[in-house]
């Protein structure tokens, strides 16, 4: 029978074991693909920004379109106040997108299919947004949990629900990305192994499924990066423009 579809998510050490105070920070395949993603983003956007043509070249057009895409996304969701956070959201979107897309290559490793990575990013966003909210509004930021126009009787319940929903933001944000990536890649692996197990006679059906899934997964890879970035923008908007 074919290999376990979950083996593709296994992390293994590349090179020697590095330990600082008993903490293992060895270079792994996950680290390799993080570095590859980051470097390829830098490469693409460096190439796209080095020339100053009035009529842009293809790669320049790509860089500038991505720039205006993210810029529009921020101004649509968080308004003008969100502009200082452009760099962070641009990097976040590109990092998640490139990690997802590199995961689509055969024999590669999907960084974002690991809950710890997505959770760390989501926690970073959550803490950052909360800090920004308290810095902008002081304790007035707590008004976020008290929606206006709610009957006084229901207020304690609503506040509890609001607090829970606020605290579950990093979990929903991270699990959404992680689960999408993992499920898609598992499905592809399973269908791929069907092609082998059913052979030349019956393998065509799972093969066509696999092809269709590849297209779907590329879409999901983009979509999840977009969702990740736009949810960040929405949380940022809550922190910047407190309206409830």
Partner 1 sequence: MLKKIIFFNLLLSTFFTQISKSAESGGMPQLNPEFWISQIFWLIISFGILLIVLSKFILPKIRNNIELRKSEIVDNIETAEKQKTEAENTLKNYDELIRKSKNEAKNYFNDARKKIIEDIEKKKQILDKEINIEISKAEAEVAELVNKAPEKIQKIAIETSSDLIRQLIGEEVNNSSISAIVDDLCKKNKGKYYGN
Site for partner 1, rule CB under 8 A: 1-2, 4-7, 9-11, 23-28, 30-31, 34-35, 37-38, 41-42, 45-46, 48-50, 52, 54, 56, 60, 63-64, 67-68, 86-88, 90-91, 94-95, 111, 113-117, 120-121, 178, 182, 186, 190, 193-194, 197-198, 202, 205-206
Residue 28 Cβ vs partner 1, minimum distance, rounded to whole Å? 6
Residue 143: closest CA among 127, 172, 166, 125: 166
Residue 182 Cβ vs partner 1, minimum distance, rounded to whole Å? 7
DSSP 8-state code for residue 207: H
Residue 190 Cβ vs partner 1, minimum distance, rounded to whole Å? 6
Torsion, CA 71, CA 72, CA 74, CA 80, rounded to 10 = 90
Residue 7 Cβ vs partner 1, minimum distance, rounded to whole Å? 8
Instruction: Please say which residue, 150 or 190, places its beta carbon nearer to partner 1.
Output: 190
Instruction: Please say which residue, 14 or 146, places its beta carbon nearer to partner 1.
Output: 14
Instruction: Please say which residue, 141 or 178, places its beta carbon nearer to partner 1.
Output: 178
Residue 50 Cβ vs partner 1, minimum distance, rounded to whole Å? 7
């Amino acid at each position: 029978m074919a290999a376990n579809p979950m083996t593709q998510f296994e992390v293994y050490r590349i090179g020697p074991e590095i330990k600082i105070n008993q903490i293992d920070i060895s270079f792994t395949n996950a680290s390799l693909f993080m570095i590859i993603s980051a470097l390829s983003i830098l490469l693409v956007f460096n190439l796209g920004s080095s020339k100053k043509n009035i009529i842009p070249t293809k790669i320049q057009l790509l860089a500038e379109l991505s720039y205006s895409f993210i810029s529009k996304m921020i101004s649509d969701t968080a308004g003008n106040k969100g502009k200082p956070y452009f760099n962070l959201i641009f990097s976040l979107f590109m990092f998640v997108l490139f990690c997802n897309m590199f995961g689509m290559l055969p024999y590669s490793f999907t960084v974002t299919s690991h809950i710890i990575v997505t959770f760390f990013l989501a926690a970073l966003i959550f803490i950052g947004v909360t800090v920004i909210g308290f810095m902008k509004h002081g304790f007035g930021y707590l008004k976020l949990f008290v929606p206006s126009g709610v009957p006084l009787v229901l207020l304690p319940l609503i506040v509890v629900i609001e607090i829970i929903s606020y605290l579950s933001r990093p979990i929903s944000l991270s699990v959404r990305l992680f689960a999408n990536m993992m499920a898609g890649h598992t499905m592809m692996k399973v269908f791929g192994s069907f092609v082998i197990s059913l052979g030349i006679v019956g393998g065509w059906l799972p093969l066509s499924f696999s092809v269709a899934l590849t297209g779907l997964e590329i879409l999901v890879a983009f979509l999840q990066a977009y969702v990740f970035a736009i949810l960040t923008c929405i949380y940022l908007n809550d922190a910047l423009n407190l309206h409830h």
